[in-house]
Amino acid sequence: GPVLGSRFPGLRASYRGRDITLIEEFAGRNGTVFIASRSLDWCPYCMRQMIQLQQWRAEFEAAGIGLVAMTYDPPQLQQAFIDRHAITIALLSDTDGLSFKTLGILNEQYRRGDSRYGMPHPGMIVINPQGEVVGKLFLEDYSVRVDAAAALAFSRQVLGIR
């Protein structure tokens, strides 16, 4: 992923029918946690993580931390998950994998033409209010995710929130 201390790069994703290149609109006053997720259509680990993050959203907001997630799913598949689980976390779609590639987290195991092409290595990137990457949480095993409580504690620590 992006180097600690570097500026979080621009993206090319869609959100609610419009193109997104910057994530500032999703930031909290103290920073942002960007969640890279494989799929909310077929990945049970991703679904479980997103539901848990939604349950903890108020705690992130109270700490002044915005949450924004991105998958390679087309928007209509994301919407089905959003509706089914009342997800209010902003969910971006990176259907061509370009944003994940720019971030350095595209899963290179899959090639163009493969149904799983465009999928990221799942994890989280913590960004301060100045747009600088101050923390990253990525685990080798795609079936294991950092739980929401630990993600909040880590984010508070790297953002300097008491």
Per-residue pLDDT, 60: 98
Q: How many CB atoms neighbour CB 108 within 10 A?
A: 8
b/e per residue 113-130 (b: at least 16 CB within 10 A): eeeebbbbbbbbbbbbee
Report the predicted TM-score, pTM, of the whole model to 2 decimal places. Answer: 0.95
In the block, which residue shows the tokens 């079936």? 143
Cβ neighbors of 88 (< 8 A, separation 6 or more) are 54, 57
Per-residue pLDDT, 127: 98
Q: Is 131 left (phi over 0), alpha (psi -120 to 50) or beta?
A: left
Per-residue pLDDT, 143: 83
Mean pLDDT of 10-22: 94
Q: Six-digit token pair at 102?
A: 């720019």
Has residue 115 got a pLDDT over 90? Answer: no
Mean pLDDT of 117-125: 91
Cβ contact 91:15 at 8 Å? yes
Cβ contact 81:47 at 8 Å? yes
Q: Which uninterrupted H or E stretch holds 127?
A: strand 123-127
